[in-house]
Amino acid sequence: MTPQQNDITYVKGIGPVRAAALRNNGIHSISDLLYNFPFDYLDRSRITKIKELPKLVEAGREVTVIGTVFRAETKFTRNRKRIFFLTMKDETGFLTCVFYNGIEWYQKAFAPEEILAVSSVPELDKYNRVQFIHPEFDRLKTKDEEDETDWNSLLHTGAIIPKYHSNEELRNAGLDNRGFRRIMKNVIRQHLQTVQEHLPAEMIRRQSLCSINQALAMIHFPKTYEERDTALRRLKFDELFYFQLLLAYRRKEIKGALTGISFKIRGALSTQLEQSLPFTLTDAQKKVIGEILSDMEQPVPMNRLLQGDVGSGKTIVALLAMLTAVENSYQAVLMAPTEILAEQHWRSISQLVRDLNVNVRLLVGNQKKKLREDILEDIRRGSAQIVIGTHAIIQEHVQFAHLGFAVIDEQHRFGVAQRAQLREKGKENPDVLVMTATPIPRTLSLTVYGDLDVSVIDELPKHRKPIRTAVRAENDKPKIFEFVHSEILQGRQIYVVYPLIEESEKVDLKAATAEYESMKKVFPEFSVGLLHGRMSSDEKDDVMKKFLIKEIHILVATTVIEVGIDVPNASVMIIENAERFGLSQLHQLRGRVGRGAEQSYCILISEPQYMQKQLITSSDRAAVYDEIRASKKRLQTMCETTDGFKIAEVDLQLRGAGDYFGTRQSGMPGFRVANVVTDYDILLLAREEAFTLVAKDPNLARPENKNIRYQFENVFKDLLSFVRVG
């Protein structure tokens, strides 16, 4: 398509007003329109007759009713609040839809006899009549409309009708769902043939894909669900293919073009450390150390991910690798996401290397100026052999004399850009090891970390007892306190964690502080501490130290303790409002106990009433039902397993890939249709094609690959732009 052909005003039905509205919503061209896929479809199989609704209340699932507008009226409650009622009618009965908000808009929205599809979870009102509360609705047609109607085809031919996202601005320009459908019909009819195929015929055949033209036509107006699936498969393949192409280039760039440092391995320092450890390394630790060291020997920069569940002993693995760099007269750096964590690493690593005469320095945000300058000088001169810190390390004025090895702990807390920035601190392409205790399902590691090699510690140190986990209610508290009491008398320590209840740290803090006060009253004979994100790092440090030396028995905390904190004597983790936490967060929190030889416990306190209340007050009930189902599943999974990989898989299923790490954070593109988890099979095929292509035709110079190159550089640019930084 030439740029002129691509102008949206060429589409029949789009004049200046609609064009402006579309542009404001990010749709600038005909290609943008073609790629503005329906978010859902209406189909006959999901349409319910009104008289069937009472039977479906129990199921709590969304259903769709098609009918005509019978009556619309606004009523007042006793305290003068307005409620808008819309009564729909089909040949089997009447249905009332209730709207509490946006009354003004709804009052004008519906014409008598208009035909609508309304979707919601059916519920009973106080007279046991079925009602829809704030349903989603979709205009099908007004009574006097005579065009080839969606509505008729829907009911009589079983056609599938696309649903498009709209908003107030678009609606005002006549582009509600129905308006969108009309212009999309025109786009497909008039302009589809100008779209060029970009994949080579060979690849299309090999992967049994349909053509791009067929795919675009069928995604908008499928005749059957098979057609839609065929279209989806092609469009998903495209997204995954170009994404993997990017990863293939990135890996080639790091591996192929750059020369790295070739370290001599198993020198004096690392050997001495390994021999002086108070424990023997697990087989899994030995295996991953082998993998890392063999990378370090190669004159190619290492780019490796180390995955290991909480408590699997990643720190010692990283330290052995860092000492290898130090033996070779290079500096090593370890970057952690929080100050507490950086300080803890600094303390434990300093302790481990105390007999080795290695200079370990800590660099964090708010150190005193004089100390800070001394550290920076030490780093610049190269006399700081191991540097541990927060993202303070990647700031511009931090200069290393000869950085050879970089470790990033809890990688998922950092962006791809920060990984690159750390690497750039070395003049000679340092080896990079990223570590994560959030186990990444296999399906995701090929995407999020698709350009990395992966090592896995799949074994915990021996003699660890699995943590016992249970869900308890608020009124089990007396029993729980009794238990806490007896554990402390046996010398153990306790964590009580509070979630971020509101999206505001202040409220969060208030809740934790209140809990702290009440715990002090319940346990006057013990010492209770409080830890939260608003404390200065000195204060936090002070509390943590007191907890470490058992001066504090019960530590009430917000989620600041989530990652990495290591106090082996703590044996009980109590998590308040556990239903509000994500699964991997719960797993991380639980990982704070079970680090010593004693039996440890995790008590998840969850209040069913809280969820009920949420249900009563929310207008988006379908979402609340989903959330309740999901939170039950999370708590149940926690009780069933302590295996981080299993937990990660469930978490991923519950949350979907986009949300798993937060899209930008992870460097994952915002796919329109592909889902790296559920489309794993397509992902593997696309990856294979992309990596083979880069190996065979690295410059995409062959005629059959010319369009791939164009597509890669132009069309997928937006999708991939921010992935490119790493």
Does residue 313 interact with ligand ADP by CB under 6 A?
Answer: yes
Alpha helices in 307-428 (DSSP H): 314-327, 339-352, 369-381, 416-423
Q: Residues binding Mg ion: what is the number (CB under 5 A)?
A: 1
Does residue 558 interact with ligand ADP by CB under 6 A?
Answer: no
Dist CA 352 CA 370 (whole Å):
27
Among candidate residues 82, 84, 64, 47, the one with its CA nearest the CA of residue 137: 64
Does residue 282 interact with ligand ADP by CB under 6 A?
Answer: yes
CB of 311 to ligand ADP, least distance (A): 5
Site for Mg ion in 681-710 (CB under 5 A): none
Q: Which stretch binds ligand ADP (CB under 6 A): 313-321, 425-433, 518-526, 702-710?
A: 313-321
Q: Which stretch binds ligand ADP (CB under 6 A): 206-214, 305-313, 323-331, 509-517?
A: 305-313
Q: Counting beta carbons within 10 angstroms of the beta carbon of residue 146, is it exposed (0 to 12), middle (13 to 18) or buried (19 or more)?
A: exposed
The 576-615 site mask, x for binding ligand ADP (CB under 6 A), equals -------------------x--------------------
Helix, strand or coil, per DSSP, at residue 395? coil
For CA atoms 582, 584, 588, 593, the dihedral sign is positive
Does residue 461 interact with ligand ADP by CB under 6 A?
Answer: yes
Among candidate residues 36, 25, 28, the one with its CA nearest the CA of residue 9: 28
CB of 313 to ligand ADP, least distance (A): 3
Longest dimension (CA), the chain: 89
Q: Which of 310, 320, 333, 604 binds ligand ADP (CB under 6 A)?
A: 310
- The CA distances from residue 289 to 93, 277, 281, 655, 671, in Å, are 70, 15, 10, 33, 36
CB of 315 to ligand ADP, least distance (A): 3
Does residue 644 interact with Mg ion by CB under 5 A?
Answer: no
| 503 CB-near residues (< 8 Å, 6+ apart) | none
Does residue 566 interact with ligand ADP by CB under 6 A?
Answer: yes
Site for ligand ADP in 389-408 (CB under 6 A): none
The DSSP letter of residue 603 is: E
Which tokens in the block code for residue 236? 């998903």
CB of 310 to ligand ADP, least distance (A): 4
Dist CA 430 CA 332 (whole Å):
9
Site for ligand ADP in 129-148 (CB under 6 A): none
> From ligand ADP, Mg ion, none, which one binds at residue 281 (CB under 5 to 8 Å depending on kind)?
ligand ADP
Does residue 285 interact with ligand ADP by CB under 6 A?
Answer: yes
Does residue 308 interact with ligand ADP by CB under 6 A?
Answer: yes
Closest to Mg ion by CB, 389 vs 564, is 564
| 549 CB-near residues (< 8 Å, 6+ apart) | none
What separation, in Å, do the N-terminal and C-terminal C-alpha atoms of the chain show? 31
Site for ligand ADP in 242-281 (CB under 6 A): 279, 281
Give every strand in the sheet of 554-557, ordered side by side. 468-472, 601-605, 570-575, 493-497, 554-557, 528-531
Q: Which of 122, 162, 311, 644 binds ligand ADP (CB under 6 A)?
A: 311
Among candidate residues 710, 584, 723, 601, the one with its CA nearest the CA of residue 644: 584
CB of 347 to ligand ADP, least distance (A): 12
Packing angle between helix 621-640 and helix 644-655, nearest 10 degrees? 170
Q: Which stretch binds Mg ion (CB under 5 A): 218-226, 245-253, 472-480, 561-569?
A: 561-569
| 300 CB-near residues (< 8 Å, 6+ apart) | 255, 258, 259, 260
CB of 499 to Mg ion, least distance (A): 22
Closest to ligand ADP by CB, 299 vs 466, is 466
The one-letter amino acid at 593: V
Among candidate residues 686, 339, 349, the one with its CA nearest the CA of residue 544: 339
The DSSP letter of residue 361 is: E
> From ligand ADP, Mg ion, none, which one binds at residue 308 (CB under 5 to 8 Å depending on kind)?
ligand ADP
Q: Which of 437, 638, 657, 676 binds ligand ADP (CB under 6 A)?
A: 437
Does residue 564 interact with Mg ion by CB under 5 A?
Answer: yes
Does residue 345 interact with ligand ADP by CB under 6 A?
Answer: no
> From Mg ion, ligand ADP, none, which one binds at residue 1 (CB under 5 to 8 Å depending on kind)?
none
> From Mg ion, ligand ADP, none, which one binds at residue 669 (CB under 5 to 8 Å depending on kind)?
none
Residue nearest to ligand ADP (CB): 313
Q: Tokens 């080896």: give the residue.
A: 431
Q: Tokens 């292509």: give the residue.
A: 693
Does residue 594 interact with Mg ion by CB under 5 A?
Answer: no
Closest to Mg ion by CB, 83 vs 454, is 454
Residue 422 near residue 640 (C-beta atoms within 8 A):
no
Closest to ligand ADP by CB, 316 vs 387, is 316
Chain-centre distance for alpha carbon 114: 41
Does residue 100 interact with ligand ADP by CB under 6 A?
Answer: no
Does residue 315 interact with ligand ADP by CB under 6 A?
Answer: yes
Residue 415 near residue 246 (C-beta atoms within 8 A):
no
Closest to ligand ADP by CB, 258 vs 549, is 549
Q: Which stretch binds Mg ion (CB under 5 A): 101-109, 179-187, 417-425, 558-566?
A: 558-566
CB of 582 to ligand ADP, least distance (A): 18
Closest to ligand ADP by CB, 437 vs 708, is 437
| 631 CB-near residues (< 8 Å, 6+ apart) | 579, 580, 606, 611
CB of 561 to ligand ADP, least distance (A): 13
Closest to ligand ADP by CB, 33 vs 435, is 435
- Phi-psi category of 134—alpha, beta or left, where left has phi over 0 and alpha has psi -120 to 50? left
Phi, then psi, of 127 in degrees rounded to 5: -95, 15
Does residue 322 interact with ligand ADP by CB under 6 A?
Answer: no
> From Mg ion, ligand ADP, none, which one binds at residue 450 (CB under 5 to 8 Å depending on kind)?
none
Dist CA 106 CA 9 (whole Å):
31
| 63 CB-near residues (< 8 Å, 6+ apart) | 46, 48, 53, 56, 119, 120, 121, 122
Q: Which H helix or E strand runs over 161? A: strand 161-163
Does residue 283 interact with ligand ADP by CB under 6 A?
Answer: no
CB of 499 to ligand ADP, least distance (A): 22
Closest to Mg ion by CB, 328 vs 642, is 642
Q: Which residues bind to Mg ion, rule: CB under 5 A?
A: 564
Q: Which residues bind to ligand ADP, rule: CB under 6 A?
A: 279, 281-282, 285, 308, 310-316, 437, 461, 566, 595
